[in-house]
Amino acid sequence: MHPDTTPEPAATTAGLTEVQAEAEARRIIADAYRPTAYRDDTPLPTHGDTPPVAQPGRPPMSQGATDASVLMLAGAATTAMVGGTAAVLMYLSQFADPLVCGLVFGAPTALVLALARLTKRAQPAPDIHQHYTGSVHQEQHHTTTRAVWAKTNNRSR
Q: Cα dist. 124→90, 127, 144, 154 in Å?
A: 45, 9, 17, 20
What's the total number of domains in the chain?
1
Asked whether residue 133 is domain-assigned, the answer is no
pLDDT tens series, the chain, 157 aa: 455 555 555 444 467 899 999 999 999 998 888 777 778 888 876 777 777 777 788 777 888 888 888 889 998 898 889 888 878 887 888 877 778 777 877 788 888 888 888 877 777 777 888 788 888 887 777 666 666 776 666 665 5
Q: Would you say residue 42 lies in a domain?
A: no
Q: CB within 8 A of 69, min separation 6: which ones?
A: 58, 61
In a domain, 28, yes or no: no
Domain, as residue range, for 85: 65-122
Residue 59: inside a domain: no
- 36 lies in a domain? no
